[in-house]
Structure 1
Amino acid sequence: IFAGKALANTAPFILFAVLAVAYLKASGAENLLAKAFEGNPARMIVLAALLGGLSPFCSCEVIPFIAALLAVGAPLSAVMAFWLSSPLMDPAMFLITSGTLGWDFAMAKTIAAVGLGILGGFGALAFANTPIFANPLREKPQVGGCCGVKAPFSATPVWAFWTVPERRTIFRATGLENGVFLLKWLALAYVIEALMLAYVPAEWIARILGGEGIGPIILGAFVGAPAYLNGYAAVPLVDALVQQGMTQGAAMAFVIAGGVSSIPAAIAVWALVKPRVFAAYLGFAVLGAVLAGLTWQAVA
């Protein structure tokens, strides 16, 4: 009953999110992504972080694109900025987050996603000549994405997509795929939330992830990695944790660290770069999550 009511309350956000993502896919808006990797390094880092934090592309979908960019010499700093911000926010996730955790939390997470990308991008740029980032690519990077994209981001967007039959088909297929995906994960997440609220004593959560100071925030960042299902399923989970005493700062650290270290996001990085670069990616994620948690705790 709880899960059904929660899904019904979230339904308008799900519908709008599905239609928005389907439009962006059908029109080919993703082709604008390549523009972020042109120009001077600072511009590339900022644009890559912005596009990563706002674009609706799954992590594995960009593997072929990123592999091609790295192969032709695109700076790792800009790619790092995109990698860090991309799994954290997109139009669908913003709407789902705002519908459950509030517009303020969704906006803060969006800002944190872009900020994390910029932090990691400029961090990679600053240490570009150190052993950590020297020769970052694997010898034979895996260029196949789990989304089945062969040559992405190479055409011109068609904003009036309905004039092209093939793009209408893409719109329908993408809408159906995303609708089923969101309903499946959110239904599971709301069931988990109901079980947590019913059977996990609130004082446990309050004792572990509540209270003042940096401790709960750091713990939230480290708990986020193994406990994170995916960006959509995490929203009801965090809602339940907050209701049971988790601090706002720990909640933000949880979703930032968990999003970047989730399996789809991590695979996208692991497939292309050497372990030391992957370790730097995770290090930036934890550092950024703690900073985001501290900032949100101070202003929430």
Structure 2
Amino acid sequence: MTDLSASAPRPLDKVRSLWRSQKVWLATALILAGLAFFDPGQAGDSALFTAEALLNTAPFLILSIGVAAWAGATGADNLIARAFTGAPVVMIGLAALAGGLSPFCSCGVIPLIAALLAMGVPLSAVMAFWLASPVMDPSMFVLTTGVLGLEFAVAKTLAAVGLGLFGGAVVHGLTRAGGLSDPLREGIGNGGCGGSKIRTPKPVVWRFWTDADRRAKFGREALGVTLFLAKWLTLAFLLESLMLAYIPAETVTASIGGTGLAPIALGTLVGVPAYLNGYAALPLVGGLLDQGMAQGAGLAFLVAGGVTSLPAAIAVWALVKPRVFVLYIALSLTGAFTAGVLFQFWSVA
């Protein structure tokens, strides 16, 4: 007889599967449940704060979702392929610009990088794109404007492109000196959901609504982005409400407020472990800025966290050799600190 119990899913496996697929929503629910038990008044205040924040951000969310869905449905993300042709110096500049403006999703960037490196694209250009891409994209620009203001969104975009240029230039110099050859780990080859965009770039179909498949893709992209943003921003606004309720403003001001270099350096370092998600971090930084955090420290936090957040760092570690990974982290932190210093001087000038 067949042992059906061996193949039947166990309750613990079901719990693990549910946690992996819905961990953000479950974390939000657990936080609210804990508040309801330990601090019922704050639970109601936090729920109201979260709902109002989502409502106030809704116009920017709708525009952000539309931009992301449009990019996927038209194939506009294929334009990124044109950034990786030409002389190395030109490629670095175009790759940094493309990374700062690209609409690539998080699942597409890592396979895309693997494909580029496996095809022999210079590491300098790839690094320029790699550093700039997690920091800013069109959807992020719209949301940053809504949450932190247009000046901050422009500064973050310039920081993304500048970080790409800086990293690409450093890698180009090291490569010319004879280092950084064969950057990929063994077994990493040409493939992935982003690689085909470079190997076989397809023309952009601007009038996507005339094609049934592209209309369907627009709907899928819009739904996917909506669910993604909804879960992360709900958690982020909930955490912001707790931060405002339980962290004294004077503590924030004393640690990462002020106008010196120390708050910017601390914001750069704190951004690595404290960063949740590019979208979720925006309202958190907004709350810290309201409590006295320096503008430069806020930008350094967002830039450093975006590039070196745990999911991104794990993906990079799995893809490249240790020396390239260390260089990636060093470039990220140095560039984020520099961007924070420059923005702080600009904001107080």
Q: Which residue of 2 aligns with 1:178?
A: 225
Superposition deviation, residue 131 in structure 1: 6.6
The residue number in structure 1 matching 2:119 is 72
Q: Which amino acid is 1:56 matched to?
A: P
Q: Given the alignment of the two structures, is residue 237 of structure 1 paired with residue 284 of structure 2, yes or no? A: yes
Q: How many residues align?
A: 298
Secondary structure of 1:57's aligned partner:
coil
Asked if the contact 1:60–1:265 (Cα under 8 Å) also holds between the matched residues in 2, the reply is no
Q: Deviations over 1:130-168 (max 9, x none)?
A: 5751321212116665xx557334222111111111111
Q: CA deviation at 1:296?
A: 0.5
Aligned equivalents of 1:75, 1:283: Cα separation in 2: 19
CA contact (8 A) 2:114 2:191 kept: no
Task: Return the offset for 1:95.
Answer: 1.1
Partner of 1:216: 263
Distance 2:248 2:191 in 1: 45
Residue of structure 2 equivalent to 1:285: 332
Q: Could you give the per-residue CA deviations for residues 188-238 of structure 1, whole angstroms, max 9, x where no partner exists? A: 111111111111111111111012321110110000000000100000110
Match of 2:249 among 186, 198, 202: 202
Contact 2:115 2:191 survives alignment (8 Å): no
Assess if the C-alpha contact under 8 Å between 1:63 and 1:144 holds in 2: no
Alignment equivalent of 1:151, drawn from 163, 188, 196 = 196
Whole-Å Cα distance in 1 between the matches of residues 244 and 212 of structure 2?
48
Q: 2:146 aligns to what?
A: 99
SS at match of 1:50: helix
Q: Secondary structure at the match of 1:133?
A: coil
Separation (CA, whole Å) in 1 of partners of 2:58 and 2:138: 15
CA shift for structure 1 position 290? 0.7
Quote the offset at 1:115 in angstroms: 0.3
Give the superposed CA RMSD: 1.6
SS at match of 2:197: coil
Query: What is the match of residue 16 of structure 1?
Result: 63
Q: Is 1:108 equivalent to 2:155 in the alignment? A: yes
Supply the distance in 1 between the matched residues of 2:186 and 2:178 (Cα, whole angstroms).
17
Structure 2 residues not aligned, in runs of 5+ = 1-47
Spell out, residue by residue over 1:26-62, the C-alpha distance to the aligned partner (whole angstroms, 9 max, x if none).
0111111111110001110111111111111123313
Q: Which range moves more in the overlay, 129-138 or 117-126?
A: 129-138
Q: How does 1:116-135 map to 2 (within 5 A)?
A: 116-130=163-177, 133-135=180-182
Q: 1:48 & 1:254 partners in 2: Cα distance?
A: 23
Change (3 A) 1:263 1:104: same
Question: Any conservation in 2 of the 1:142–1:271 contact (CA below 8 Å)?
Answer: no
Q: Say whether 1:187 aligns with 2:234.
A: yes
Report SS of the residue matched to 1:128.
helix
AA matched with 2:225: N
Q: Which amino acid aligns with 2:281?
A: A
Whose helix fraction is larger, Structure 1's or Structure 2's? 2
- Tell which structure's C-alpha radius of gyration is larger: 2
- SS of the equivalent of 1:22 reads helix
Alignment match, 1:82: 129
Read off the aligned partner of 2:297 and give its amino acid letter. Answer: A
Q: Is contact 1:60-1:268 (8 Å) kept?
A: no
User: C-alpha distance in 2, partners of 1:53/1:150?
Assistant: 19
- Indicate if the aligned counterparts of 1:18 and 1:178 stay in contact, CA closer than 8 A: yes
Q: TM-score, normalised by structure 2?
A: 0.82
Superposed CA deviations along residues 58-90 of structure 1, whole A, max 9, x for unmatched, are 233133332222112110000000000000011
User: Structure 1 149/79 Cα, relative in aligned 2: closer, same or farther at 3 Å?
Assistant: closer
Provide the residue aligned with 2:50 in structure 1: 3
Secondary structure of 2:239's counterpart equals helix
